[in-house]
Structure 1
């Protein structure tokens, strides 16, 4: 249950207390994988959006956005 709470960043719903430890571990791995995939997608989208910024301004804009 602790592993799932860490993956969720919050306490899991009480109904999951009845789930088997193997199922909770599988769910925790799935949550982590989805968050990593989502973060990668956001980074890709941000890089694509920077292509709309004039070339001379990209460096300063990147530093401001990605501190």
Structure 2
């Protein structure tokens, strides 16, 4: 596993953590009790793009880790 593969694995883990955070915040926003407090963060697109980045980065680093 090269240095670049380690960087991709770390970046993929960070993107996965961001996806989990965005997913939790989106669920919290959807279940709010006061419907007038909508917030300003677009949690759904943040979740989508961070999940896509995590899948790609972890897939590429996992491929290098397995030696395929």
TM-score, normalising length from structure 2? Answer: 0.49
Q: Rg: which structure is higher?
A: 1
TM-score, normalising length from structure 1? Answer: 0.50
Q: Relative contact order: is structure 1 or structure 2 higher (C-alpha 8 Å, sep ≥ 6)?
A: 2
